[in-house]
Structure 1
Amino acid sequence: MTILAVLSYACPLILCSIGALFTEYAGCLALFLDGLVSFSAFLFYTFTVTTGSAILGAVMACLGAVGITLTFSAVVERGGANRFIAAIAMNLLFGALCSCLSSVIFGTRGVLAAELFRFSANSARAATVVVTAVLVAIAAIFLRYGRHGLYIRIAGSDADVLQAKGVNPGVIRTLSWSLAALYGSAAGCFLAMRLSSFVPNISSGRGWMALAVVFLGKKKPLRIVAAVLVFCVADVFSANIQNYISGIPSSLLISLPYLVSLLLIFVK
């Protein structure tokens, strides 16, 4: 497996983790990410097949995911609902929408593939790595130097400070959810692009793993990227080591990435 392949393999989890970081800072963790990633991948497939353009399909998928999240967040904020419960409800909603819309539009709840949805492996990997690098850089700069990035970092711990400055904390929480949706939807698009198809539950738990990675990376963008890379390298290593060394228990290989992650907790 090449370095480019390993990096592209890690990119969806990196994007999900950065998206979750926004919401953790704002005090409203994005528990909907796992469902949103799969839903975005479905939208990407649907819009790409419909329009014949992968770029247009990706843009429409991201806008659709962000639009739904923004609307839901505004309703939650206006109604004063518990955001954690609302996020779990959103996660279930996204999963249900994937199944329902797939059945209605394509007549199946299974794997979706089409001639219009085929991508070169190398091109898909390169695009994934480049776009992810740009998005991570933007997030790091935004959180560190941007005014609204500062507001997001304050919203979760010192919302009263924002109110004293005349800034509505609810608007900042909605902004954090929208950014999480943008990054999560990009991850979904890249997962579908890598497979050249849509597979139900394509996220494979990445949305949930991202929540843990935020804390594993000490809530720092670059540390989060490093933590994901270490995890993914260990995952790729465990998947391929038996080709060279036989007799290693499969249970040990399966647990290796998670053991490495546990060791990272003790690294300051």
Structure 2
Amino acid sequence: MTLLALLSYACPLILCSLGALFSEFAGCLALFLDGLVSFSAFLFYTFTVTTGSAVLGAVLACLSAVLITLGFSAVVERGGANRFIAAIAMNLLFGALTSCLSSIIFGTRGVLAATAGAANAAASTASASSANTTALFKFSATTARATAVAITAVLVAISVLFLKYSRHGLYIRIAGSDADVLKAKGVNPGHIRTLSWSLASLYGSTAGILLAMRLSSFVPNISSGRGWMALAAVFLGKKKPLRIVAAVLIFCLADIFSANIQNYFAGIPSSFLISLPYLVSLLLILIK
């Protein structure tokens, strides 16, 4: 496996972890990330095959995810609800919405691989001349990998600079532990918590888009637990963005190793190989 392939494999989890970091600093951990990743991947697929533009599909998917999160956050703040319980409820809602909308729009809850005919069905404008052989949701491996690495590199840099040097980054870092300081400065902690969830949603939705690009399709539960692994990576990296990136890379390297080692050593139990990435993460936590 090339370095580009390894980095691109780790990109979705890196973005999820950085999104979780924003919310952890603000004291309202984004427990909805796992469901959001799959939901955003579905939205990206749907908008792309409907509009015929991957760029527009990505923008609409991110925008939709952020707006939904903003709406929920506003309700939670005004109602004084428990944000942790609300986040879990959002995670369940995202999963239900994905399944429901997939059934309504495409007539299936299974894997979605787009053709021109599928796009017409999604837009309810089917015509007899549609060519089912024209793929509208297909990305080459090189394009998907390069795009993932480039976008992730930019977002990692933005997160580091934002948290360290910007005023709102400072507000997010102290919102969870010293909310009274913000109140004394005339800053509403609720607005900062909402901002942290919005950033978590933006990073999580981008992760879902990259996963869909990698597979050139939408697969139910495409997140495969990355939203939950991201929460662990935040603490594994001691809430430092670059340490989190390093922790994710080690985890993904162990994951790739466990997936390929059986090709050379057939006698290794598959149960051990499946658990290897998590054992490595546990070992890193114990060492630290």
Give the TM bin, normalised by the shorter chain.
over 0.9
1:51 aligns with 2:51: yes
One-letter code aligned to 1:85: I
Q: Shift of residue 243 of structure 1? A: 1.6
For 2:207, which of 179, 182, 187 is the aligned residue?
187
Q: Shift of residue 242 of structure 1? A: 1.6
One-letter code aligned to 2:258: S
Residue 67 of structure 2: aligned partner: 67
Alignment of 1:211-222 (within 5 A): 211-222=231-242
Give the whole-Å Cα distance in 2 for the aligned partners of 1:91 and 1:254: 25
Alignment of 1:132-143 (within 5 A): 132-143=152-163
One-letter code aligned to 2:79: G
Q: Provide the identity percentage.
A: 85
Residue 102 of structure 2: aligned partner: 102
One-letter code aligned to 2:44: F
Q: Shift of residue 108 of structure 1? A: 0.8
Q: Shift of residue 262 of structure 1? A: 1.2
Residue 157 of structure 1: aligned partner: 177
Moved over 2 A (4+): none
1:171 aligns with 2:191: yes
Q: Shift of residue 55 of structure 1? A: 0.7
1:228 is paired with a residue of what secondary structure?
Answer: helix
1:82 aligns with 2:74: no
Residue 118 of structure 2: aligned partner: none
Residue 265 of structure 1: aligned partner: 285
How many pairs were matched up?
268
One-letter code aligned to 2:233: V
Give the whole-Å Cα distance in 2 for the aligned partners of 1:76 and 1:6: 39
Q: Shift of residue 251 of structure 1? A: 2.1
RMSD: 0.8
Q: Shift of residue 266 of structure 1? A: 3.3
1:239 aligns with 2:259: yes
Q: Shift of residue 129 of structure 1? A: 0.5
1:37 is paired with a residue of what secondary structure?
Answer: helix
Alignment of 1:29-48 (within 5 A): 29-48=29-48
One-letter code aligned to 2:104: V
2:29 is paired with a residue of what secondary structure?
Answer: coil
1:204 is paired with a residue of what secondary structure?
Answer: coil
Give the whole-Å Cα distance in 2 for the aligned partners of 1:17 and 1:218: 12
Residue 25 of structure 1: aligned partner: 25
Give the whole-Å Cα distance in 1 for the aligned partners of 2:41 and 2:93: 15
- CA deviation vs aligned residue, 1:236-258 (integer Å, no higher than 9, x gap): 01111122223222222112111
Give the whole-Å Cα distance in 2 for the aligned partners of 1:99 and 1:250: 31
5+ unaligned residues in a row in structure 2: which ranges?
Answer: 115-134
Residue 9 of structure 2: aligned partner: 9
One-letter code aligned to 2:12: P
Q: Shift of residue 162 of structure 1? A: 0.1
1:207 aligns with 2:227: yes
Give the whole-Å Cα distance in 2 for the aligned partners of 1:54 and 1:249: 41
The structure number with the bigger radius of gyration is 2
Give the whole-Å Cα distance in 2 for the aligned partners of 1:42 and 1:249: 35
2:30 is paired with a residue of what secondary structure?
Answer: coil
- CA deviation vs aligned residue, 1:195-249 (integer Å, no higher than 9, x gap): 0000111101100111111000100000000000000001101111122223222
Give the whole-Å Cα distance in 1 for the aligned partners of 2:106 and 2:265: 44
2:31 is paired with a residue of what secondary structure?
Answer: coil
- CA deviation vs aligned residue, 1:109-165 (integer Å, no higher than 9, x gap): 111111200001111000001100100110011001110000000000000000000
Give the whole-Å Cα distance in 2 for the aligned partners of 1:120 and 1:52: 17
5+ unaligned residues in a row in structure 1: which ranges?
Answer: none
Give the whole-Å Cα distance in 1 for the aligned partners of 2:51 and 2:266: 48
1:130 aligns with 2:159: no
1:266 is paired with a residue of what secondary structure?
Answer: helix
Give the whole-Å Cα distance in 2 for the aligned partners of 1:32 and 1:249: 33
